[in-house]
Structure 1
Amino acid sequence: MKALFIGGTGIISSAITTQLAEAGCELYLLNRGTRNGNLPDNVKLLQADINDEARVAELIRELDFDVVADFIAFRPEQLERDFRLFNGKTKQFVFISSASAYQKPLSDYRVSESTPLANPYWEYSRNKIACEDYLMKQYREHRFPITIVRPSHTYDERSIPLGVHGRNGSWQVAKRMLANKPVIIHGDGTSLWTMTHNADFAKGFIGLMGNLHAIGESVQITSDETLTWNQIYEAIADALGVKLQAVHVASSFLAACSTEDYTGGLIGDKANSVVFDNAKLKRLVPGFVATTRFDQGIKQTVDYILAHPEHQKEDPAFDQWCDRVIDALNGAIASVKG
């Protein structure tokens, strides 16, 4: 198989790149070259900014592919560019959408590909929906061979997946845990969520590559393991070897008092209970099963981050914000109690 990935080094795509390289796929990565240091030797690089359409057109002028996958597009105009570049040059074009595009609030916590797409809370999700609409139009009108993939919360060894964190990532929350400081969990922590290790996601994704039954289809790829947010934070604390000091704060309150996009990220995504039905994926990719249990995967992530200080990016502004939110909550409790 001959494939081109636009991106290829991110959380979702890096495990796919590694597994395909190990399997001997003729794999090209098109990116700016800022994170290519640990790529397998047999991966071929096309170094360019995908937004430089003329440069990319020249690089691929003599190339055709079985699969082209765009991991970094999130606006319709970027898919319009991809259509101009790859129409007639690939047998399958895979777009990475998002499970956050599903209906919010959900009418049924059980989510399948037939769940409506509608998210009034998050512009990111609305853009993904618009991208899907554009691609389906090209499939219907021009037979552009698209497959839409919807991941949910996917993680790797480089970052701890959380519900509430600052713009510098998740390390500051881990640092608070290590210092025995309280950490914020949105809501009461009992809503249901799904974490998927990128190595498991890769197995499902690779099974869709070159799969003629996936053309014109939308497919979600997640683990079948369902956890509460309390269980997720407990597993992270256990991996760090500390006792969790949790403070539960309403998602609406967090969204109202933060400069981060908690309206989109919480109200439009993580505050909702979701249980994913992967029956369609398993019909298309017989034998697919996610095998990395969260408590096992997060232990690998924590061990890696603790051993690699470059992934320990501090966020003092977020740390101070957490303290203010917790102090305000405790003050309100004291005031009501009199």
Structure 2
Amino acid sequence: MKILLIGGTGTISTEISRQLLAQGHELYLINRGNRNSELPGGAHVIQGDVNDEALMARKLEGLEFDAVADFIAFVPSQLERDYRLFARRTKQFLFISSASAYQKPLSDYRITEGTPLANPYWEYSRNKIACEEYLMELYRREGFPVTIVRPSHTYDQRSVPLGVHGAQGSWQVVQRMREGKPVIIHGDGSSLWTMTHARDFAPGFIGLLGNIHALGEAVQITSDETLTWNQIYRSIARALGVELKPYYIASSSLAAWDTGDLYGSLLGDKANSVVFDNAKLKRLVPGFTATIRFDQGVRETLDYVLSHPELQVPDPEFDAWCDRLIPGLDSLAGSVVHRNP
């Protein structure tokens, strides 16, 4: 197949690109060229900013595709642009939405594609919902061949997936573990979560390409493995060969004290227990199964990150925030105990 990915070097799309090329597909990437080292060899790169619609229209002239997938659209206006660019150039258009779009709080912990979409806590998720609604209206009104894909927490070898970290990513939490410092875990660590390795995600996604049964459908792609956050953090500590020193703080408190995006990413996503039912994906892509257990996958990720210094991005602001927050809460807890023996 002849496939175009808008993006192609992200956590999910890099592995999809690799596997598509390994299978012999003709792959095109629209990419700004900011991460040239991540571009897979053998792909046709259309370099430029997809937001420059006039430039893209010129570069796409004469090209048609079996499938086009946008990994970097976040608001409906970007999909309106995609529609103008690709309505007559592709047999299938795939939009990468998000499982965070599912209702919060959940009425049932088991999530299927029929779970309602509603997230009052996170603008990111509300924008994804608006994108889905725009595309599905195009499908109903004009037959635009859309497939919506909903990933949850997907990771690759370049970054350790965690619940609470700073703006610079997860490395500082890993470093705190290595230094024997306490690390913050939201809630009491007992809520359920699902981690999916990009190498497992990619076959599910590729199985939807050119799949006539996927047109007009929304499909979630996740592992079937369910973990508590305590298990997630313990797996990371075990892979590092260190003792985990967890410090539990209510998600609502963290959201109130943080100046970043914890309000949305915790209350609108990670603080909620989730168990995904992937039966629909397995009907559409027979034989799909996620095979990489989290403890195995995160060990591989840590090995890679520890051997690539450029991925070890320090976050002194987040580190200082943890160092201020934890002793302050310990002091408060001690005073409460003192007053109420």
TM-score by length of 2: 0.98
CA distance in 2, matches of 1:108, 1:32: 41
- CA-CA distance at 1:306 after TM superposition: 0.3
Identity %: 69
Task: Describe the superposition over 1:194-239 as per-residue Cα deviations: whole angstroms up to 9, x where unpaired.
Answer: 0000000001000000000000000000000000000000001111
Q: Is the 8 A contact 2:14 2:38 kept in 1?
A: no
Where do 4+ consecutive residues of structure 1 move more than 2 Å?
A: 38-41
Which sections of structure 1, spanning at least 5 residues, go unmatched? none
Per the alignment, in what secondary structure is the counterpart of residue 208 of structure 1?
A: coil
Per the alignment, in what secondary structure is the counterpart of residue 37 of structure 2?
A: coil
- CA-CA distance at 1:9 after TM superposition: 0.5
- Which amino acid counterpart does residue 265 of structure 1 have in structure 2? S
| Map of 2:216 onto structure 1 | 216
Task: Describe the superposition over 1:168-191 as per-residue Cα deviations: whole angstroms up to 9, x where unpaired.
Answer: 000000000000000000000000
Structure 1 residues 38 and 258, CA gap change in structure 2 (3 angstroms) = closer
Query: What is the aligned length?
Result: 338
| Map of 1:153 onto structure 2 | 153
CA distance in 2, matches of 1:107, 1:41: 45
| Map of 2:124 onto structure 1 | 124
Q: Is the 8 A contact 2:8 2:39 kept in 1?
A: no
Q: Is the 8 A contact 1:18 1:39 kept in 2?
A: no
- CA-CA distance at 1:40 after TM superposition: 3.1
- CA-CA distance at 1:142 after TM superposition: 1.1
Quick check: 1:205 aligned with 2:202?
no
Q: Which moved more, 1:144-153 or 1:41-50?
A: 41-50
- CA-CA distance at 1:329 after TM superposition: 1.5
| Map of 1:79 onto structure 2 | 79
Task: Describe the superposition over 1:275-294 as per-residue Cα deviations: whole angstroms up to 9, x where unpaired.
Answer: 00000000000000000000
Q: Mapping of 1:46-125 within 5 angstroms?
A: 46-125=46-125
- Which amino acid counterpart does residue 23 of structure 1 have in structure 2? Q
Q: Is the 8 A contact 2:28 2:46 kept in 1?
A: yes
- Which amino acid counterpart does residue 262 of structure 2 have in structure 1? Y
Q: Is the 8 A contact 2:9 2:38 kept in 1?
A: no
| Map of 1:165 onto structure 2 | 165
| Map of 2:20 onto structure 1 | 20
CA distance in 2, matches of 1:116, 1:328: 40
CA distance in 2, matches of 1:172, 1:327: 18
- Which amino acid counterpart does residue 158 of structure 1 have in structure 2? R
Q: Is the 8 A contact 1:200 1:291 kept in 2?
A: yes
CA distance in 1, matches of 2:112, 2:49: 35
Q: Is the 8 A contact 1:4 1:28 kept in 2?
A: yes
| Map of 2:308 onto structure 1 | 308
- CA-CA distance at 1:39 after TM superposition: 3.0
Task: Describe the superposition over 1:156-177 as per-residue Cα deviations: whole angstroms up to 9, x where unpaired.
Answer: 0000000000000000000000
- CA-CA distance at 1:59 after TM superposition: 0.8
| Aligned-residue RMSD, C-alpha | 0.6
Per the alignment, in what secondary structure is the counterpart of residue 207 of structure 2?
A: helix
- Which amino acid counterpart does residue 223 of structure 1 have in structure 2? S
CA distance in 1, matches of 2:110, 2:120: 20
CA distance in 2, matches of 1:181, 1:135: 47
CA distance in 1, matches of 2:316, 2:131: 36
CA distance in 2, matches of 1:178, 1:225: 27
Per the alignment, in what secondary structure is the counterpart of residue 37 of structure 1?
A: helix
CA distance in 1, matches of 2:40, 2:166: 32
- Which amino acid counterpart does residue 290 of structure 2 have in structure 1? A
Which sections of structure 2, spanning at least 5 residues, go unmatched? none
Per the alignment, in what secondary structure is the counterpart of residue 300 of structure 1?
A: helix
Per the alignment, in what secondary structure is the counterpart of residue 36 of structure 2?
A: coil
TM-score by length of 1: 0.99
